[in-house]
Structure 1
Amino acid sequence: MEQMFITPIIPLNSIGNIGSDKKIASGNAGNSAFQDVFREAIQNVKETDKNLTTQEYLLSTGQINDAHTVPAAAAKAQLSIELLTALRSKALESYNEMMRISI
């Protein structure tokens, strides 16, 4: 019987685990973890866009054998942009909600 190659699922860092190697007490240290989330999302957008550009170039020059990698790269790039947009929207919603709180 043939063995199938299955890529194991690698868990993503949850927002609660980001910065866990640092001891976050309060104040500016909390900002660091918040910034790390956005930096990681922005870096992911840059990497997936670069990968998509490379795949499109390889396809257009005939250097790629399997054309299905281009739509897969495009889907990854689109999802990373949607994730960054959703993070930005939630951050703005949270900020606006905190501004409405009266002390």
Structure 2
Amino acid sequence: MEINNQFITPMKPWTFGESVSERNTMPKESEGATLFKDIFANAVNNVKLTQADVENKQYLLATGQLEDAHSLPIAESKAAISLSMMVTLRNKALASYNELIKMNT
């Protein structure tokens, strides 16, 4: 079994006489923000792709070119699930942001 370590950041050892300010542990762009940005961008692209697939299948069905009629409801379900996932990600991000704002006041 392989362990995925993409969320684990190794700790740097402290050297004698090093202060916290010299250590400079904060990167310019946090890895978590980049990871969330990538996940959210993938979710948005997934919504665009699934919606385009639904529109294509609707066109094919309307013109009589769709060979398997069951593929349209499947594509619609995929599009609904991907949209729901994107909305959930957005809501969780906003809830987290609001919690951070409350902590600062």
TM beyond 0.5 = yes
TM-score by length of 1: 0.72
| Larger CA Rg, structure 1 vs 2 | 2
Q: Write out the 4+ residue segments of structure 1 that deviate beyond 2 Å after TM superposition.
A: none
Q: CA RMSD in A?
A: 2.4
Q: Secondary structure, in 3 states, of the residue corresponding to 1:75?
A: helix
The residue that corresponds to 1:79 in the other structure is 81
The residue that corresponds to 2:99 in the other structure is 97
Q: Take 2:69 and 2:63, find their aligned partners in 1: how far apart are those partners? A: 12
Q: Take 1:40 and 1:85, find their aligned partners in 2: how far apart are those partners? A: 13
TM-score by length of 2: 0.70
Q: CA deviation at 1:27?
A: 4.3
Q: Take 2:28 and 2:101, find their aligned partners in 1: how far apart are those partners? A: 18
For structure 2, the residue ranges without an aligned partner over 5 or more in a row are 10-25
For structure 1, the residue ranges without an aligned partner over 5 or more in a row are 1-15
Q: For each residue in 1:5-63, what CA deviation from the matched residue of structure 2 results, as whole angstroms up to 9, or x when unmatched?
A: xxxxxxxxxxx87xx4xx8x744142221210110000000000000011111111111
Q: Take 2:36 and 2:50, find their aligned partners in 1: how far apart are those partners? A: 22
